[in-house]
Structure formats: structure tokens, C-alpha cells
Structure 1
Amino acid sequence: MAASEEPPTYFYIGQHDSKRTAPVTGSQVSGAYNAGYDMITSPISNAAYRSKVKSLLSAYQTAVCDEECEDEESVPFPIVPSLTPEHTNLTPDDSISSLLAFTSQWIDLASPDPAVAHVSRQVFNQEIAYAAFCGVNNVVVPGPRHHGDVQLTQYARAISYALSIGPYLQIQILLPMSQEPKEGPPADPEHFFHQAREFFMTDADDESLPSSGHYESWDAWNLIRSVCKFHGRLSVGVSVPRQLPPMSLQSRWFSEPLRFIVFPDSSFIPNNKGYPVLSKASQEMITRYMRLKTPPWVLLQDVGSVQDDSPVAMSFSPSGSLAPTPAEAARSATKPKDTTDPTSHLRYLRHLQATQPQRSMVDRFAVGYQDYLQSPLQPLTDNLESITYEVFEKDPIKYEWYQRAVALALQDLHQQIQGKRPIVVAVVGAGRGPLVTRVLRASADTGVPVSAWAVEKNPNAYVLLQRHNLTNPLWNKSVTVVKTDMRAWQGPILPSGEVGKVDILVSELLGSFADNELSPECLDGVQHVLHPDHGINIPQSYTAHLTPLATPKIHQDLSFRSGDDRWELPYVVMLHQYDYLSLANLSPGMGGKADAEPIPDVQQAWEFSHPLSPAILAQAKLRQGGSAAGGSGGAVGGDGANEHNARFSRMRFKIQNRGVCHGLGGYFESVLYEARSGKQVELSTNPVTMDEKSKDMISWFPIIFPLKTPLHVPDNGEMDVSMWRQTDDRKVWFEWMVEVFHRVDGKRYRLGASELRSSWKNACLM
């Protein structure tokens, strides 16, 4: 997509008054719209309901504390009556879709006092049920007070049950992005936190427990969504502090199902004219979050009230530019600027919206593909459609780099054979012919003549290749097109009628994990046509790389699919909403600087090089067919003729900040050609090296190897990853396993391990 065609970024902005006690009216909704907001928050019940419930709880507590009451269990918990019109103004009218409904902020679902928790659950369930009845789409639930792990499970259980009350209701948990280790009591004296009896509060407050630090809020969210089994209607919203937490924690929230971000008035700082603005770090965070496939909403909290049917405060043109109304223009010309304007925060965010930086080339290409799981291609067994080839051919980098590699190889070989004849270049797996075109351009640029061959098994692509040879002026009928599986090709036919050898063999058989589309097997099978003395493969080598990832969105997607084998298949995916668990630029136990972009620890699993040693190919041929000289067969079936392409790797990753592993991200690096001068042409999808080696390349998305059961890993933990590439001579598949360890007093303890996953049922056929 061209830069000019990039769709505009739109911020969906809501107004949130944390002290609002009565549900909003239709007139207030209209006022919010006129002010420039897209939505407004509303409590489900009002202050009268809170007074009613509080009186019931107080009466119960008085009864159980009465000296005449010898047995507390003989006094039943209070029953909260149903909502009445006196307790809520919320109705199923036309404005309901513009509301974000808040459950009562004064209840305490996680209270250690069983009476407070019981009453709070009744209030909560009634509000959820009534909001669902009214047609509310989204309900926001304030996060739990941290009373301890036991009480947090009570809160999580309540959320899990609430998801069954409203079958279409989306529930969002509101949490602080970063929480200080010691949380004080709520400032609101009416909060039920203050209603809990001292006996239970003292029992729950364990000072010996270590602080959870910055990750306390994320820990709470992780438990809640785990209890709710990654429910598709459960998401999270975070309140952003003025001083952002470390980038590692920002990235963690980025990977979660983030429905909204809240900016309270305290998040803003005044500029030199007194207007509220966000820090540069907060602006960059907004830009990053708004690049998500489903961008979060923005809630402005306590930044000014919305008046009923207030006059229009701003206009927003389709082009994204802001313009004052005529009345505003007149006022600004005659009056000093008013820095207390209740819409000044909103105006500022609309300005950020209109000035969002342009997306990178890769981001523009990836629109629509983000976190979309695709099965890897099997070009050996499937004949690809033209549109599939076309997507790959849009890459602005790959084919240019291939042309540079071919040019260097032509120059080296031209010197070696002293220009006695044209260089024989064969593109095997030619597809629609883009590499053939690049070979011819490299020949023209270097002045080195070539004899070009295009080998393709796809009968449909073969037709197009012949057409190119007849109509493309660069090809000019100079290319010999051969329809065959490259492994069955005997080689180029010389003018003498003899079968010759190929000087340069060019292929683009790499998959997202380098070898997952059987490039090793294909190039082994065609190596017999390569000149044994000076033949060059492009690419010359490629390596597979791995790193553990947190991908809750992808895990949720797979959880709601059918079929047990969904966990046994690696997926090609444009990773977008994820987090690296192992970082190379953080010290153990450190969150890192807020402005430090995390650099992942991506480790090499294995490597393949071409051409292969003749001795290895000779041994493989000896084993083929099961002769006595070839041994008793392969380790996992077959005769073992392809066992030289089996691989195993075990990698150890340090995990600085606790998290959950949902799978392994796979990447590759490839040396297309290393010239005699030492100059290399390389491709990379490895996030650590891709900008250096092949920035803006879009041909390959990463691959992910999923885990059925997510693995929790503690601070300063370790993850051992075992990875296999298996083969039985008929097919190739991958197996993977992850183990979690923690060191205590110098000893290493295993905390858990995943099941051994295997793609054997979905193996690539040879």
C-alpha cells in the first residue's frame, strides 16, 4: 500500500468521571458527543443504592457484634434486594450503545471479610445482569484491592461467573499499569474496604510476603484471565501514570487484550503556555498501542465535566485536521486563552491523532495479517496459485538482494573460468519468474553473459514462464523453461546434445523457519546438476532461530478452535501483539529503563549449508532402499536416507521478569552469497539482525510453535527449549518442548514442563 493510501488513525476517546455517582442521561450523552467525545462512562447504580446496601451490611455487623449473640454463624448474611428505579437511571434506550458502564467502585469482591465479599458479589451480579438486560455492550470492573492471593482468587471467581450472566457482554478489568509495592486504603470513606472487620484485615495482611513491585497489577490480571480460561469476552484496561513504568512492562501490557487505556488528569503536564500535554514517552506509547489490529480506546479521567447538550467544542474534518468553530475563533481573537477549558485534554489528543507518524513499509503491508494464523506452505505437494506468488513478489528487498548476490557470484565465476563461456544459471522452483528476471538484470549490470534456465514443476506457472519468455523484452526468448520437479531434472542440455552442469543454482525455497518448506531436501535432490568443482548455491546457507514469547491473543484464538491437532502445528503469523520473555539488554531482576526498547535473546537452533559434502550424499544414497550396507534403518522410521537433514537443539533462555510462555517464535537468517572479497549478501527475519541485514523485507512472516498449556516462569527464571527436526524419508516434521527452572542457593529446580508437541500428523511430505 502506498503511503498516500494509508488509512487515517482514529482515536476513540471517552470521558470518564471517577466521582460520578448517578447514571448519565441521554442529554449528557449528547453533550459528550457535542464536546467531541465518542463515548462516556456511567455507573450502573447510584448513591441511593450504595446507602441501602451499606445499611444492610452495617445492620449485619451490628448483629454479630451484639454481646447477646454467642454464635456468629447463627446470623445469616444479608440479602441485597433487587434494583429499583430509585437505585438506577440506566434504561435500554438509544444512547445505551454510547455508554461504558462501570460496576460499583465501592464494593470489594476480594475482601477478606466474608460478609463484605458476600454482599459485594450480590451487588456485582445484580449490576452485571441489569446492564446485560439494558443492552450495554461493555462493562468496566474496577480491579481488585490486593488483600492476598486467597482473596484475589475470590475476585477472579466472581469475574468468571459474571461472564456467564451476560452472554453478549464484554467485560473489562480496570487496573493500574504499574502499582507501587504498598497500596494504601481507598480515599473514599464509603468504600467497603473500610467496612471489613479488623480481625479479618489483620489476618490477611502478611508483612512477610515479598513485594510484587511493578508487576503486581499484571500478576492480578494474569490470574484473573487464567481462572476465566482466556475467555474471549474478557479484556483489560490500564490506567497510565505520569511516569511510565519500564518498557519491559509496557511491552507486557501491549501483548495483552487491551481494550482501553485511561489517562487521568495527573498523567498530563502543562506546557509553556499552560495547556495539558503528555510526555514524549507517553506519546510514543500511544502511537505503538494505536498500531494494534484492534486499537484500544482512550478514556480521559477527571479532566472536566460534560454539560448537558453543551455547544460544539471542536470540529474534526475527514482529513484529520482540527478546526475551531466560528464561535471559538471569535472568542480566541478577543479573549485571553483559557487553560481551564474542560475540553483542552480532548483537543490535545485529537491533535496527537491528526499528527500520528506514518507507518513503516512493513507495517503497511501487514495490515490485515496481524496475528492471523496461517498454515505453512507445502510447495512440494501443492501447486500454488498465482495470487500467492504475487504476494511474495511485492517484496521490495528480497529480489534486489538476490540480484546483488547473483551479480557477485557472476563476477567471481567469470574470473575463475576466465570468460571462456557463458555462466550457466538455473533458477529451480522458478514460480512466476521473478528470480529469472533478476538473474538477467545481474548479467546485464555486470556484463557477464549467462545461459539462463527456469525449472518449475507447477504446470500452471510453467505456462506463464513460457509466456514471459516470448513477451518479456528482457527475457527475449533467451531462457530455457523446463517443467519438472527439480530433483528429477537431469541438467542443462548443451549445444552438443550432452547434459551439462550448472554453475549457479538459485532458489527461494526458504520458509519462515528457513527449512520448514523442505529447502534442504529439495537442494540435496538437485545438487547432482551442480558443477562439482566451482558450483555455487544461492543461498549458500541458512540458520533457524528461536525465542520464547508471550502471545495471549494467539493462545486465546487457538483455544476456541476445534480439533486437538491445532496445538501440534507450527503457524506462520505476522506477530504483532506479543511480548519477548527473554531479553538481551536487561540485567536479572531489572525492569530496564522506561525508554529502552527491549532487545530479545534470539538463539540459533541449527544450520544448513549448500552444496552438501559428496560423502554425506553418497552415504544417504547407500541407505536409500534399505540395503544391508546402509544399516538397519532410520531412528524414527524409513531407511534413514534423509537423516543427515534431521536436527536437534537445546537452548537455555534467561527470563528476567516473570511471565507466561504461550509458544516459541521462529525466525531465520540466510547468507545468499559470500564473495571472494569477503562481501556478504544476507537476508534475515531475526528481530535482532533484520534491520542490519535486510530492513523492510516482507516476504516472510515469523513462525510460532504453540504450547497447549501456558507455562509460568518466575523472576530470574530459566527456560530450556528442546527442538527437533525429524524425518522418516517420506516426510519432515518438528517437535518441541519447554521446561522452566529456578535457581535457589546455587541449585537448579525444575518448576514445570510442557508436553512434547509434534507436527507429525501435519508433516511436510517429501
Structure 2
Amino acid sequence: MGDETFVGGLSIPQRSDDSLILLQDARKDGYDFITTNLPHSSSLFRRDVTLIESKWWSTSIVGNVASPNSYKSEMDTDTSEKPAWNFGQDIITALASNDAQASSQAEQQLMYMLDWAAHMNIPAVILPPITATMNKYELDCYGRFVANNGLKASANNLQLWVRVSFHPKAIENFHKFHRMCDGALNVGCMLMMDLEAVNYVTEASLSQSMDLMHYFIGSNLRAISFNTDVFLSNKKGFPTLPKSIQFLFVEMLKRLGRTCRVLVEGVPLHYLDNETDVPQGHDFEEQESSPLGHSGLLLYIQYLRHLRSKDEVKNVIDTEEAKMETGYLDHLQSALQPLGDNLEFSTYEVFEKDPVKYARYQDAVEYAIRDKIQLGQLRTEPTSQDKNNISILVKIFVVGAGRGPLVNASIRAIKTINTKYTSILGNNSKIQIDPRIVAVEKNPSAVLYLNSLKRFDPNWKVVDVVQCDMREAMNDQFLSDIILGDEANKVDIVVSELLGSFGDNELSPECLDGFQLSGLLKENGVSIPQNYTSYLAPVTSMRLHAESHAHAFFPSEPTQGPGGKPCGVLQAMETPYVVRTHAATQLHEELPCWTFTHPLQKEGLPLQDAAQNVDNERYAEVIFDLGKEGKAAFGSGYQKVNERLTLLAKSDIGKGLNERFSNESYTIHGYLGSFHCLLYQSVIDQTLSSVISIAPSTFSVGMFSWFPLYFPLREPQIAPKGSSAKCIIYRKCDESRVWYEWCSEIFVNNTTINTSPLHNPNGRSCVVRL
């Protein structure tokens, strides 16, 4: 049936009130689920409830709200006749009726449908559509009903998928609707790819359509439906999507292909010119009927699965990295307390598998050593055997060594120099690096691991292990001897991996300043990393915002366990979270906030004195023009910018865009924090540099050690067309804590129209302990 992450469903209007035969036919054709019209009254009867086991209702059947006046058995209807779609619009019209009796009846019918779906343990219900032209009062009445009943549905683990037209005004209406429902996590949208969508994509530019799809992805997109009448026919009669729709669908699969359901709706409208024709790559030996399958709609699901199997999709969501991160998608995690807590063995193990980070660190150490050799900053002496063989002493400190991956990276860098650069001094001398590496770690359990490596790994004979908080070096005898000794015996290179998702949020500045203040570093000593910059970008993500809100029920102190006092909404919504963004829409290129540089240098002062009384507080105002096209290129805020979409937007802008097809407004649910870090840049050859980054514009492809840091807004902000967003963010410190404070403004033509409260003032909800 193809890739397990692709879940395809089937909806045939004439057969949607009796699920038994349809489910059998659909599963034979490779569909994973079907839809059934929900009954609106207990006075009705249906055959399937007496014949289908509960396991099928709970896994393979999705409910559909249809207008009750069309509820009748249509099993004998000719399925080749194109139906009039019954998506339940009439019941919403009745709900908003001035006739109190009609309105009450519609509400009772809807309530019965949802109750019956919960009774049958149906996993999801498809609700009537929200369109671009929907009456405001109807939208309000619709939102009121779902707001009143959504919590009950959530308690029953019932997902509500609201049909939404592919149009900027329709998705704007859905955002208003979703706010009326208090941002409920179980209320998502199902994008309708129908003829209206085709017309929109035809008239709008492809980049505008892609930006709209991009916005849908952050709007809790749970499913996408394709009416059979949107498919074209190829030369042999097989169904195929219009090129523009196909492009949008494939790009959506790259983003949400692991979680978004796909639904085929309608009757068969495509027939093979020759029924002996078999689609390439498909085997019909198991099909008892024609190649059209048991349902008559086999070709549609095969075509959609074919799009899912394209290399450009598989290379994004079927890689080992993608599989490993699946459990983290949109899962909020508290940022680490690196000085207050000790990491577990398994946590170290996971991050050590990063294929990119330690390779970049190895390059950085290599470049730094080569520079120091060529600058004559390392002690050299001839070997006793041959005066042309030069031994070069280099002292490297790895602070926060964990289980030693940076030590290993440093050892590999030294081996590379000894192997490849034997004549780096530019004469006939052959060099041999003689390293002295010190691994400093405060976690006593990790220190045991480091000592074990020193005992059993021959490469670690050049390593000394010190258990110490790097800020308290004078309290350790080994380190204090270096501090009080000769300058020549101090540290040439200090290497650390103390960065957090926002760069400085795991106290790298405080730790490295403390190391510099200790006096361990030579005056010409270097730090790896050399500098790192924090970035912010606005994000639309109903899912992240709802997940943040759900943390209100988590214990305020994790050590208290499930029985602990809940932290409450205020604390939950004023806490930054580490998250692998997935169902999220970055609305603008990330912009810089501030930069930290190491070691700190002040003119005329020794390095140790330059680290006295350092002020690590920061402040930034970051302004985002939300009117820019090409937003889709920034994806979810994690992974590299999509250059293909960037070029598409530039091309379309050059041709001129029709403003009629631009988004009416955007909802901002918070800001995503990321970082760009220069580990080392050669002072001799500027082309040699080593960088790690999770900022989309410079993302280190293949690196997974960090996910973005999500700064939620207590209440989402609506940014109308032509507006800009400003995030004001502070990094604050006192003698025992570091914390962030942030707020957001929306303004048009320098006039502020919406301002959020300041989040986390004085660190009342979230701090990092020093």
C-alpha cells in the first residue's frame, strides 16, 4: 500500500451513509479510511452499525456532516452520475436562521452527529466548509457552536476537520473561527482542492498560491481533499492533477507528508481508453475487477501515492534524520538548565550522533591550530631524532566536555594536520603536533565516562580529565597551578558546545566569560566558537500555540511529577520552548537580535581583566514587513531556505503580481528564535571558516542538535494587509538568573494598532539558573 506515512481516504457521496461495502472496496484498492455521513437522529437506521466491528470505526472511518434533508440511502444510485456536493452547508445556514425553531433544530442535529461519532469512537469528523464569501453572522454562529462543543469533542479524542476553501479570505475566516474556539488543538482545517481552488491557482501567480499553501500549513492543516473533477486525463485516460496543483501538493508533502491525511472525494470521472492498459509500476494481479478497482477510484489513490513516492519528497521526509525526529514534531520541550541540571547518558548519546556538528568543530580546531603554527604562536622544538622534525606543543581545553565528542573532534583535527600538513611552516621542516588536551566537566557521572575513555582509549593518553565548574577554576588544584604558572603553559584554544537554540539561552556567554576571567587563556588564545548571533522570525502555528496553552496543566515543577501543582496559563504562555517546528509557517526572513563574541577584548586590557564586570544584558527591536512575497521559502522555520521557491517568488514579482490574490491578513502566534555561529575563521586565509547554524538562511543541512526556540504570545495577533510586526526582546540578568522578556506590536504606516503585554517580566514565569 505504499509508504506508511501516507494515509489516504475515500469519500463517495452516493455511498457515504452505509460504510460496510465501501470500506471493503476502499481497503482492497489501497485506501486507508472512508467517510460516512453522520446520522442526525436516533429514529434513523443503518445497516453498517450492526455489521462493522468497533476497531474499524475507530481506525478506518471518518464522520462527515451532511445536510439532514439529504440523508437517505443512495446505494442504488448510479455512481457514474456526478453528484451535487452535500458538505452540510444547509445546516450552518439553518444554524444562523432568524427562525428560532430552525436554528435550535440545526443545533440539536449537529450535537447528535458529534455525540454519535464519539459513541462510535470515530477519530475525526469533517465539518461544513468555511468559504471566502461566507456570511459573517453564519461564521459567528458556526464558531459559537464549535466553541461550545469542541471541548466535549476533545475530551472524547474527537478531531474536528473544518473544510476550508483555497482562498485568502477563506483562511482568514477560519482564523477568526479558530479564535472563537479559543485556539482548540482538536479543531483543524481540511483544505478543499476543488474547481474553485483550480480557478484561484489559475488566476493568481504560482508564488502567491504557494504562499497561501504555506499559510494553510500553519493553520492546523489536518487533511487535504481532492474532488475527482479537478483531475485532468492524460493520453491514456489516467487521472493527473493540473501542473500547478501538483506542484502545490508536492511542496505540501515535503512539509506535512508525515502527518497530513489525503482524501479523494467524488465519483469516477476517468476511464482508461483501453482497460487492458496498466499504469506503469503497478500490479493488478490482485484486482478481481478492472484496473479501475473495486471502488472505481483506484487510479486516483495510485496517482497520489505516486506523487508521494517522488524522490524530491522521499529525500526530505523519508531520510534517517527525518525518521529520528518524527517523535519531536511540534512537541514542546523545556529548554535545558545546563548549570542547574546534569544531562542523562542517553541525551549525550543522541546528540553525539549529529553528523555535521562535530565535523564542523573538527574543521574549526584544525584551522585554529594551522593559524597558530603559521603565526608562530605555539612553542616549537626539534625532536631528538632529527632536527628537521619539529614538535609543536598545543594546549586545548574542552569545557563542558560531556562524554567527550569535542575531545575526539580535536584529536581527529590534530591527526589531520600531522598527516596532511607536514610542511606547513613553509620550509623543509616536518611538523608533529604534540597536544595537551584537558576535558573539563561538572557532571560527575559524565566524568566517570571520560575517565573510562582515558583509561581504555589509546587516543586519550594525551587527555587530562578535570571535574569542575569552569567558572570555579581556582578551586581545582590542577587548574589553579596553570592559572598561577607561566603564560607559556596556559591555554591556546578553548573549545565548547554550550550553545542553545537561541544561541545564548543555555548561558554560553556566562560560562565562557567565567573561563576567561579565570586567567587560564593565553593572551593570544582563541575561543571556538568565536561568535554567535541570535535571530527571530514571526510564526503562524495554531498547533504550537495550542500546545503551549496545554502546558498550563503541566506541573510547575517537573520534579513534582503528575501530581504537582499545575503551572497555569500565564506561566505556560510566558515560557520559551524548544520545538522541532512542523505545522508552522515562518512569515518573514529571520532577522538578527544581538551577537556575543569570545574571548572578550577591551583595548589596552589583558584578557582576564577584560572579563571583569561584563554586562551580558541585551535589548533588540526587530521589525518585519509582512507584505513581502515569497514567505513559503522559509518553511516551518527549521531547515534551509527553499531556494527554488525564492527564485519562483522573484520571477513572479518581476512579472508583476495581482494584489487581489495576496493574503488579507496574517495571524502571529509567536516568534521563532534561532542562531548563526561562527566557530572559527582563519586570520590567514579568510576563505577557511567553519559555521554551524539553525537560522534558515544559513542552515547547516544535516545537523539536528538544535531545534528552534518558540516564544509564544499569550494572545495571537492579527496583522492586516500592509502591516508590519515588531518584536521587542530583552535578555536580562541578575546574580543568580538569566531570562528573556518580550512583547509584540502590529503597526501600519507607523501607527500601532495592536500591542501585546510584556511577557515574563522580571522572569516571573521562566528563568535559566546561573
User: Of residues 443, 449, 457 in structure 2, which corresponds to 1:472?
Assistant: 457
Q: Which amino acid in 2 is paired with 1:12?
A: V
C-alpha contact (below 8 Å) 2:125/2:159 kept by paired residues: yes
Matches within 5 A, 1:20-419: 20=14, 23-45=17-39, 83-85=42-44, 91=49, 93-94=51-52, 96-97=57-58, 98-103=60-65, 104=67, 105=88, 107-110=90-93, 113-115=97-99, 117-144=103-130, 146-163=133-150, 168=156, 170-178=158-166, 214-240=167-193, 241-242=197-198, 244=201, 246-279=209-242, 282-283=245-246, 285-287=248-250, 289-290=252-253, 292=256, 295-304=259-268, 322-325=282-285, 342-355=297-310, 357-358=314-315, 359-360=318-319, 362-417=321-376
* Structure 2 match to 1:572: 578
The CA deviation at 1:101 is: 2.4
C-alpha contact (below 8 Å) 2:617/2:733 kept by paired residues: yes
Relative distance call for 1:33 and 1:682 in structure 2 (3 A) is closer
Once the two structures are superposed, what CA deviation does each residue of 1:610-645 show, in whole Å capped at 9, x if it has no partner?
A: 111257999998998xxxxxxxxxxxxxxxx45x11
Secondary structure of 1:437's counterpart equals helix
* Structure 1 match to 2:417: 446
* Structure 2 match to 1:638: none
User: Of residues 546, 568, 574 in structure 2, which corresponds to 1:556?
Assistant: 546
RMSD across aligned C-alpha pairs, in angstroms?
3.5
Moved beyond 6 Å, runs of 4+ = 337-340, 494-497, 615-624
Q: Which amino acid in 2 is paired with 1:264?
A: N
- Distance in 1 between the 2:307 and 2:239 partners? 12
The CA deviation at 1:492 is: 7.7
Q: Verify: 1:456 aligned to 2:441, yes or no.
A: yes
C-alpha contact (below 8 Å) 1:107/1:120 kept by paired residues: no
Q: Which has the higher helix share?
A: 2
Matches within 5 A, 1:600-619: 601-614=589-602
- Distance in 2 between the 1:407 and 1:13 partners? 51
* Structure 2 match to 1:598: none
C-alpha contact (below 8 Å) 2:502/2:675 kept by paired residues: yes
* Structure 1 match to 2:723: 717
The CA deviation at 1:83 is: 4.8
* Structure 2 match to 1:196: none
- Distance in 2 between the 1:121 and 1:314 partners? 50
Secondary structure of 2:142's counterpart equals helix
* Structure 1 match to 2:756: 753
Point out the more displaced range, 559-568 or 659-668: 559-568
User: Of residues 496, 499, 507 in structure 1, which corresponds to 2:496?
Assistant: 507
Q: Which amino acid in 2 is paired with 1:390?
A: E
Q: Which amino acid in 2 is paired with 1:14?
A: G
- Distance in 1 between the 2:689 and 2:236 partners? 54
* Structure 2 match to 1:427: 398
Q: Which amino acid in 2 is paired with 1:646?
A: E
Point out the more displaced range, 667-676 or 382-391: 382-391
Relative distance call for 1:380 and 1:163 in structure 2 (3 A) is closer
- Distance in 1 between the 2:485 and 2:587 partners? 59
Structure 1: gaps (5+ residues): 1-6, 50-81, 179-213, 307-312, 316-320, 583-600, 625-640
Relative distance call for 1:736 and 1:617 in structure 2 (3 A) is farther
Give the TM-score taking structure 1 as reference length: 0.75
Secondary structure of 2:191's counterpart equals strand
The CA deviation at 1:736 is: 0.7
- Distance in 2 between the 1:147 and 1:327 partners? 44
Secondary structure of 2:459's counterpart equals coil
* Structure 1 match to 2:669: 662
* Structure 1 match to 2:508: 519
The CA deviation at 1:539 is: 0.8
Q: Verify: 1:489 aligned to 2:442, yes or no.
A: no
Q: Which amino acid in 2 is paired with 1:536?
A: V
Secondary structure of 2:672's counterpart equals strand
Give the TM-score taking structure 2 as reference length: 0.75
Q: Which amino acid in 1 is paired with 2:447?
A: Y
Relative distance call for 1:273 and 1:293 in structure 2 (3 A) is closer
C-alpha contact (below 8 Å) 1:452/1:479 kept by paired residues: yes
- Distance in 2 between the 1:444 and 1:322 partners? 53
* Structure 2 match to 1:539: 529
Secondary structure of 2:314's counterpart equals coil
Point out the more displaced range, 459-468 or 36-45: 36-45
C-alpha contact (below 8 Å) 2:334/2:577 kept by paired residues: yes
User: Of residues 6, 11, 17 in structure 2, which corresponds to 1:16?
Assistant: 11
Point out the more displaced range, 253-262 or 390-399: 253-262
- Distance in 2 between the 1:341 and 1:26 partners? 16
- Distance in 2 between the 1:458 and 1:129 partners? 53
Relative distance call for 1:281 and 1:465 in structure 2 (3 A) is farther
Q: Which amino acid in 2 is paired with 1:114?
A: N
- Distance in 1 between the 2:163 and 2:724 partners? 28
The CA deviation at 1:762 is: 3.1
C-alpha contact (below 8 Å) 2:229/2:269 kept by paired residues: no
- Distance in 1 between the 2:435 and 2:243 partners? 55
The CA deviation at 1:38 is: 2.5
Count of matched residue positions in the alignment of Structure 1 and Structure 2 = 631
Secondary structure of 2:379's counterpart equals coil
Relative distance call for 1:252 and 1:22 in structure 2 (3 A) is closer
Q: Which amino acid in 2 is paired with 1:482?
A: V
- Distance in 2 between the 1:26 and 1:314 partners? 30
Once the two structures are superposed, what CA deviation does each residue of 1:147-179 show, in whole Å capped at 9, x if it has no partner?
A: 43233101111222343665526253443441x
Q: Which amino acid in 2 is paired with 1:302?
A: G
- Distance in 2 between the 1:548 and 1:382 partners? 31
Relative distance call for 1:324 and 1:762 in structure 2 (3 A) is same
Q: Which amino acid in 2 is paired with 1:602?
A: E
C-alpha contact (below 8 Å) 1:374/1:573 kept by paired residues: yes
Once the two structures are superposed, what CA deviation does each residue of 1:66-104 show, in whole Å capped at 9, x if it has no partner?
A: xxxxxxxxxxxxxxxx55237x66746525444322222
Q: Which amino acid in 2 is paired with 1:109?
A: I
Q: Which amino acid in 2 is paired with 1:101?
A: G
* Structure 1 match to 2:656: none
- Distance in 1 between the 2:6 and 2:415 partners? 51
Relative distance call for 1:164 and 1:723 in structure 2 (3 A) is closer
The CA deviation at 1:14 is: 2.0
Secondary structure of 2:523's counterpart equals coil
Secondary structure of 1:404's counterpart equals helix
Secondary structure of 2:671's counterpart equals strand
C-alpha contact (below 8 Å) 1:322/1:351 kept by paired residues: no
User: Of residues 753, 762, 768 in structure 2, which corresponds to 1:764?
Assistant: 768
Structure 2: gaps (5+ residues): 68-87, 202-207, 271-275, 381-392, 419-432, 554-566, 628-662
- Distance in 1 between the 2:48 and 2:752 partners? 54
C-alpha contact (below 8 Å) 1:668/1:685 kept by paired residues: yes
C-alpha contact (below 8 Å) 1:129/1:165 kept by paired residues: no
Secondary structure of 1:231's counterpart equals coil
Secondary structure of 2:502's counterpart equals coil
Secondary structure of 1:482's counterpart equals strand
Relative distance call for 1:388 and 1:217 in structure 2 (3 A) is same
Q: Which amino acid in 1 is paired with 2:594?
A: W
The CA deviation at 1:322 is: 4.6
Bigger-Rg structure (1/2): 1
Matches within 5 A, 1:692-707: 694-707=700-713
Matches within 5 A, 1:589-608: 601-608=589-596
